[in-house]
Amino acid sequence: MFKPDPKLKPIEGATKVPASSYRQMGLKAFRTKSKYKNVSTEYGEKKYDSKLEAKVAQDLGWQIKSGDILKWERQVKIPLRVNGVFIANYYIDFIATDKHGQRIYIKSRA
């Protein structure tokens, strides 16, 4: 159990903040900047993690209209297994299915 240091005295004029409010304030402060300075972008009423990812989604949309691909999915979970043992889940940005039924895995990287 946590025991505060008896030498430390409470700060006068300080107000108590509930833990839930403190966590929310802290999360807002930490989520202001992306590690790689990506800018969230909207395309087709969906929000993407970066401008490049939104551009790839736009290109896939044009490929559907031209008939090169039949469909595409975003943020698909792929379970990684080695010798039948589950290791981890990998999330790929896009999976597209072309007109021949072949699946194309797309990872958008700068």
Token duo for residue 46: 């969906």
Taking 60 as the threshold, does the pLDDT of residue 28 lie above it? Answer: no
What's the pLDDT at 87? 96
Q: How many CA atoms lie within 13 A of 63 on its CB side?
A: 16
Taking 80 as the threshold, does the pLDDT of residue 51 lie above it? Answer: yes
What's the pLDDT at 25? 67
Residue 23, φ and ψ in degrees, nearest 5: -65, -40
pLDDT in tens, 85-102: 999 999 999 999 999 999
Complete DSSP assignment for 47-77: EESSHHHHHHHHHHHHHHHHTSEEEEEEEEE
Taking 70 as the threshold, does the pLDDT of residue 41 lie above it? Answer: yes
Any idea where the domains of the chain sit in the sequence?
36-106
DSSP designation for 10: P
pTM: 0.65
